[in-house]
Amino acid sequence: MAPSPFTKPPGPVALIVLDGVGLAPSSPYNAWAVAATPTLDALTAGELPTGVPTTAGAAVLTTTLAASGRAVGLREPGDAGNSEVGHVTLGAGRVLRQAAAAIDDGLAGGRFREGDVWRWLMEAVGEQQQGGAGGGEGGEGAPPAAEAGTAGPDDQDGTAGGDGEEGGQRPPATLHLLGLLSDGGVHAVMDHVWTLLDAAVADGVRRIRLHVLTDGRDVGERTALGFLDQLDAKLAAIRDGADGNVDVAVASGGGRMAVTMDRYGTDWGVVAAGWHAHVAGDTETVAAFPSAAAAVKAAYKDGLNDQHIPAFVVVDPDGRPVGRMADGDAVVLWNYRGDRAVEMARALDTPAGEEWPHFDRRHVPRVRFAGMTVYDEEEGVPDAALVSPVAVDQPVGEVVAAAGLTRLCVAESKKFGHLTYFFNGHRGTPFDPSVEEYVKVDSLPGRDEDHPAMATEAVVERVLDAVQGRDGRVPDLLCINFANGDMCGHTGVMAAAVAGMETLDAALARLLSAVVGAGGVAVVTADHGNVEQMAELDEDSGVVAGDTPGGWAPLTAHTTAAVPLWVVGAPVGGMAIDGGARWDAGTPGGDPTCDGPGIANVSAAVLHLLGLESPDEYLPSVLVEAKKEA
Ligand code: 3PG
Ligand code: CO
């Protein structure tokens, strides 16, 4: 354990995450630079913002932190950061191999094919099954133990139905692959899909259906047709390689923000839309198209971008859906990030007849379902997963609770699990409810470009209540996430991003005044960049020309930007930024991409500010005792 060099301040320690607010030079497409942000400007200059009490010598310490690529455990140095890895890293105090990379390891060399979960899926849809009557019931058995150390589910119970496509013949047992078709690397990557397809074909699956969600949020906003082309080429190669023995096609899909990928229970209607498209192939309620590309092109004509494409079902020339899910089928969800995968996983994992309050699933086919990994580790959802999740021991929240200190977490719904499930190392509930309170402030329904202020005001009010002691005892640690930078950045709408930053700036001013005024210290940082770059930039030539009024193509995705760190309050007088802190500390041979501290170096600082020791696994704190003048 590393001892704290500091004495706990009389007021709270506040960890304030400005979601998606990275550092970039001033430009017309940097929404932070364009917005009026007097609070952030003062902090950047190392000065106390107007209104923050200067009593007792309050001051600001500042530095920049790496928040992308290897600094947060991603696959490649150039991978943009994201909220999952950012919050996991801020909570873990070390650089962990994150899901995308861990899945690579789990799939490498076909290792997963030997695992119980894959074999259990193949029992239903692989070689031995296809030799029989076709479309068997999938058996009653559950896999003894999953690759992920989780048990597989019993086959789901359901009423007969879901067949009848393709001329009334029951098709052979089918493997359905569902997920985000993108190389964004936040929720999914394409080469995992190729691996699953190749493994299925090698294991004798003869009928495969894909249900594809278009992205436009972690990648360019109209890139879906390119990804569909790549998929088509892969499917054509499979058909050719199998001499026509493998029937593989895209069966349904839709844009990720409209279909399937809701998170934190913000809008279950999104999951319902996905269910009716992917599972039921319901052409009564879901638009039918001859191909996924036709659905995408129709949405573009309506002015929609990839993230918002409505649900669609692919139909044959007679108008029949090409790939409903039926009894005896197997389903794999290839997304690896839990927040936007767990709701559909629950829907597929909950048998007919069990309580399901979220929407009317109508018919629930008996399928064998596995996730790429476990999406909710506390509740074990789904029952079966192909690759084990990465364990995180002793995250900040656990250390604080074990010390008996109190903690309040406040975020709006759209970011709530980031600050709880991810920050807590995949745990959504308090370590010790007697000292922790997690408050979810309702997000506003609809699109963020229509209300860029989001629910920030309500978040601030809730925190101010706590700082002013209205809960009885002022919490020792406050964890707050402000969503505006990221969520408005994802819209690609500059005006929304600017308005979001102005809301954020005003909110931060109020919080800093309250925390510093109460004798506390605020640690303000971000999980990754987004809003500071609203235009697609070409690495070589600079700005990419586009057809927006500004003449550039909107960037909806995150960036590789470094993020700010500001430590604000009276206690910082005795503190200094450790100029030698590095995120690769302890990495044998170091990491050539490291040139200073990363967000992983913040966690020990938070514990030390609370007067607590940091666990040995943590990276050195970016905050050290100031050297006394000789
Ligand atoms: C999303 O899920 O909205 C984006 O893919 C990533 O955004 P986040 O990492 O900031 O949540
Ligand atoms: Co984001």
CA of 72, nearest ligand number? 1
Asked whether 262 lines ligand 1 (CB < 6 A), one says no
Nearest Cα to Cα of residue 467 among 53, 87, 63: 53
pLDDT in tens, 458-514: 999 999 999 999 878 899 999 999 999 999 999 999 999 999 999 999 999 999 999
Q: In angstroms, rounded to a whole number, what is the distance separating the alpha carbons of residues 116 and 72?
A: 31
Residue span(s) of the chain under CATH 3.40.720.10 come to: 13-98+390-625
Q: Give me the residues paired with residue 477 across strands.
A: 13, 407
User: What is the average pLDDT across 440-446?
Assistant: 94
Q: Which amino acid is at 441?
A: V
- Who wins on pLDDT, 431 or 541? 431
Point out the ligand 1 atom lying closest to the alpha carbon of residue 337. 2
Nearest Cα to Cα of residue 24 among 528, 395, 418, 441: 528
Work out the mean pLDDT of the chain and round it to a whole number.
Answer: 92
Distance 256 CA to ligand 1 centre (A): 11
User: What is the pLDDT confidence band of residue 138, given thresholds at 50, 70 and 90?
Assistant: very low
Q: What is the pLDDT of residue 167?
A: 47
User: What is the average pLDDT across 32-39?
Assistant: 98
Burial of 433 (0-12, 13-18, 19+ CB in 10 A): exposed
| pLDDT of 168 strictly over 60 | no
Contact 76, 380 (CB under 8 A): no
Q: Using the 8-state DSSP alphabet, how is residue 498 labeled?
A: H
Spatial CB neighbours of 67, under 8 Å, sequence gap ≥ 6: 22, 81, 86, 526, 527, 528, 529, 561, 562, 563, 598, 599
Spatial CB neighbours of 108, under 8 Å, sequence gap ≥ 6: none
Phi and psi angles of residue 266, each rounded to the nearest 5 degrees, phi first: -70, -40
Q: In angstroms, rounded to a whole number, what is the distance separating the alpha carbons of residues 247 and 208?
A: 6
Q: In angstroms, rounded to a whole number, what is the distance separating the alpha carbons of residues 318 and 161?
A: 20
User: What is the pLDDT confidence band of residue 134, given thresholds at 50, 70 and 90?
Assistant: very low
Point out the ligand 1 atom lying closest to the alpha carbon of residue 20. 10
E strands along 232-307, which residues? 247-255, 287-289
Q: In angstroms, rounded to a whole number, what is the distance separating the alpha carbons of residues 486 and 464?
A: 23
Point out the ligand 1 atom lying closest to the alpha carbon of residue 82. 9
- Report ipTM for this prediction: 0.99
Q: What is the pLDDT of residue 162?
A: 41
Nearest Cα to Cα of residue 211 among 234, 228, 233: 228
Tell me which fold the domain 13-98+390-625 belongs to: Alkaline Phosphatase, subunit A (3.40.720)
Q: Using the 8-state DSSP alphabet, how is residue 434 labeled?
A: T
| pLDDT of 365 strictly over 70 | yes
Distance 588 CA to ligand 1 centre (A): 32
Distance 409 CA to ligand 2 centre (A): 19
Asked whether 340 lines ligand 1 (CB < 6 A), one says yes
Q: In angstroms, rounded to a whole number, what is the distance separating the alpha carbons of residues 375 and 385?
A: 9
Q: What is the pLDDT of residue 553?
A: 87
Spatial CB neighbours of 178, under 8 Å, sequence gap ≥ 6: 210, 211, 213, 260, 278, 331, 332, 333, 334, 344
Residue span(s) of the chain under CATH 3.40.1450.10 come to: 100-154+171-371
Give CA separation, 567 vs 287, 516, 564, in Å: 52, 11, 10
Distance 270 CA to ligand 2 centre (A): 18
pLDDT in tens, 543-577: 676 766 667 889 999 999 999 999 999 989 899 99
User: What is the average pLDDT across 269-288?
Assistant: 98
Length of the chain: 630
Element spanning 461, H or E: helix 456-467
Q: What is the pLDDT of residue 47?
A: 97
Nearest Cα to Cα of residue 148 among 275, 399, 338: 338
| pLDDT of 420 strictly over 90 | yes
Point out the ligand 1 atom lying closest to the alpha carbon of residue 339. 2
Burial of 7 (0-12, 13-18, 19+ CB in 10 A): exposed
Give CA separation, 488 vs 21, 83, 447, 483, 575, in Å: 11, 14, 9, 8, 35
Q: In angstroms, rounded to a whole number, what is the distance separating the alpha carbons of residues 478 and 176?
A: 44
Give CA separation, 207 vs 196, 242, 262, 467, in Å: 13, 12, 29, 59
Asked whether 373 lines ligand 1 (CB < 6 A), one says no
Point out the ligand 1 atom lying closest to the alpha carbon of residue 215. 5
Asked whether 186 lines ligand 1 (CB < 6 A), one says yes
Virtual CA dihedral for 561, 562, 567, 573, nearest 10 degrees?
-140
E strands along 506-591, which residues? 521-525, 537-538, 542-543, 563-569, 575-577
Asked whether 584 lines ligand 1 (CB < 6 A), one says no
| pLDDT of 122 strictly over 80 | yes
Token pair, residue 480, equals 């707050």
Distance 83 CA to ligand 1 centre (A): 6
Q: What is the pLDDT of residue 142?
A: 62
**Look-up of token digits 């996983």:** 345
Asked whether 455 lines ligand 1 (CB < 6 A), one says no
| pLDDT of 153 strictly over 70 | no
Q: In angstroms, rounded to a whole number, what is the distance separating the alpha carbons of residues 253 and 274?
A: 7
CATH number of 100-154+171-371: 3.40.1450.10
Residue whose Cα lies nearest atom 10 of ligand 1: it is 83
Residue whose Cα lies nearest atom 6 of ligand 1: it is 82
**Catalytically annotated residues:** 83
| pLDDT of 150 strictly over 50 | no
Q: What is the pLDDT of residue 139?
A: 43
Q: In angstroms, rounded to a whole number, what is the distance separating the alpha carbons of residues 520 and 11?
A: 4
Q: Which residues, chain by chain, have CB under 5 Å from ion ligand 2? A: 486
Q: In angstroms, rounded to a whole number, what is the distance separating the alpha carbons of residues 425 and 296?
A: 37
Spatial CB neighbours of 280, under 8 Å, sequence gap ≥ 6: 162, 324, 325, 362, 363
